[in-house]
């Protein structure tokens, strides 16, 4: 990751890369999303216990995966920004945080919709639900800190430190079902013994995971490019004001 930020910290080089990959990310994401939604909502079978309500899984589970993936990317970008002070790393973190927050909200909302018919309640304060809610607060805290100081450098530094400290919550979310008694079932896809889910459900689930990953990368490229262009515009205005 450090080598990547070293190579593409140059704005012109990164803008060329982003412009080249954006169309591929956009159309690839849309195709995967359409295929995943059709396979999950139409092509996959209903569960013998949960019925058609199990189809919420095809949105909920990839959203939860992406909430953790985005925060891991945010923590990685924050570490690079603090250690090597590359502006691209800072922009990557700022671009990732709102996207990760949206995935976290989607995971919480769909989890509540799934939990109501299965558990008989919209919300319970078990370890996984509570730690995912904490993850949302960490995202919001990062976003708030970025804009909390008149000096953008101080805001970026404070937000990066929060992101790194908050990363301890990621393994808590992952292993909460193993460490404590929760209403969530243990991992059924990423297991040493292999997935414990039938291929007819696993395939659309993985399609949706790929689609959400592509969506994140697409939005990341768009948002970083927008931040670069906005920075150029601000610099031009400052020069004109100084002149």
Distance CA 132, CA 105 (A): 9
**Is the residue at 198 inside a domain?**
yes
Nearest-10 crossing angle of helices 57-84, 87-119: 150
Whole-model pTM: value is 0.89
Please give the structure tokens belonging to residue 236.
């031009």
* Tens-digit pLDDT profile for residues 80-95: 999 988 878 888 999 9
Structure tokens at 90: 């800072």
Mean pLDDT, range 107-117, rounded to an integer? 91
Q: Is pLDDT larger for residue 156 or for residue 10?
A: 156
- Of 92-96, 97-101, 125-129, 232-236, the one with minimum mean pLDDT is 232-236
Average pLDDT score over residue span 110-131: 88
Higher pLDDT: 239 or 119? It is: 119
Q: Is 219 inside any structural domain?
A: yes
Higher-pLDDT residue of 242, 206: 206
Cα separations in angstroms, 131 against 158, 169, 187, 190: 22, 7, 16, 20
Q: How many CA atoms lie within 13 A of 197 on its CB side?
A: 22
Smallest CA-to-CA distance from 115 within 26, 190, 53 is with 53
**Please, what is the end-to-end C-alpha distance for the chain in angstroms?**
39
What is the pLDDT, as a whole number, of residue 192? 45
Between CA 109 and CA 6 the distance in angstroms is 38
pLDDT band at 11 (very low <50, low <70, confident <90, very high): low
Average pLDDT over residues 126-143: 95
32 lies in some domain = no
pLDDT level of residue 119 (50, 70, 90 thresholds): confident
The Cα–Cα gap between 192 and 189 comes to 9
162: containing domain: 56-181+194-236
Query: Could you tell me how far CA 98 lies from the centroid of its own chain?
Result: 8
Sorting pLDDT into bands at 50, 70 and 90, what band is 4?
low
Q: Is residue 131 a contact partner of residue 173, using CB atoms and an 8 Å limit?
A: yes
Assess if residue 96 is contained within a domain.
Answer: yes
Q: What are phi and psi of 191, to 5 degrees?
A: -130, 150
- Would residue 163 count as lying in a domain? yes
Residue 117 lies in a domain: yes
Give the model confidence (pLDDT) of 29-70 as tens digits.
999 999 999 999 998 888 777 888 889 999 999 999 999 999
In a domain, 39, yes or no: no
Tokens 């292993």 appear where? 175
% of the chain with per-residue pLDDT over 90: 52
Is 119 contained in some domain? yes
Q: Which tops the pLDDT comparison, 211 or 192?
A: 211
Number of separate domains in the chain: 1
236 membership: H or E segment, kind and range: helix 199-242
pLDDT tens across 180-197, in order? 777 666 666 655 445 657
């Amino acid at each position: 990751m450090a080598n990547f930020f070293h190579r593409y910290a140059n704005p012109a080089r990164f803008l060329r890369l982003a412009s080249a990959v954006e169309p591929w990310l956009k159309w690839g994401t849309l195709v995967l999303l359409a295929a995943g939604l059709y396979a999950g909502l139409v092509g996959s079978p209903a569960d013998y216990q949960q019925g058609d309500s199990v189809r919420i899984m095809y949105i909920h589970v990839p959203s939860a995966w992406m909430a953790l993936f985005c925060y891991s990317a945010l923590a990685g970008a924050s570490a690079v920004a603090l250690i090597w002070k590359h502006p691209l790393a800072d922009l990557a973190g700022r671009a990732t945080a709102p996207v990760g927050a949206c995935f976290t909200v989607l995971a919480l909302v769909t989890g509540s919709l799934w939990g109501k018919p299965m558990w008989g309640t919209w919300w319970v304060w078990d370890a996984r639900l509570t730690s995912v809610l904490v993850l949302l607060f960490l995202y919001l805290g990062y976003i708030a800190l970025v804009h909390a100081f008149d000096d953008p450098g101080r805001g970026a530094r404070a937000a990066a430190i929060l992101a790194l400290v908050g990363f301890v919550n990621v393994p808590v979310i992952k292993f909460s079902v193993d460490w404590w008694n929760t209403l969530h079932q243990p991992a059924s896809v990423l297991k040493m013994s292999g997935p414990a889910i039938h291929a007819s459900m696993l395939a659309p689930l993985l399609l949706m995971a790929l689609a959400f990953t592509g969506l994140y990368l697409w939005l990341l490229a768009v948002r970083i490019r927008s931040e670069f262009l906005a920075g150029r515009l601000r610099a031009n205005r400052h020069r004109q004001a100084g002149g």
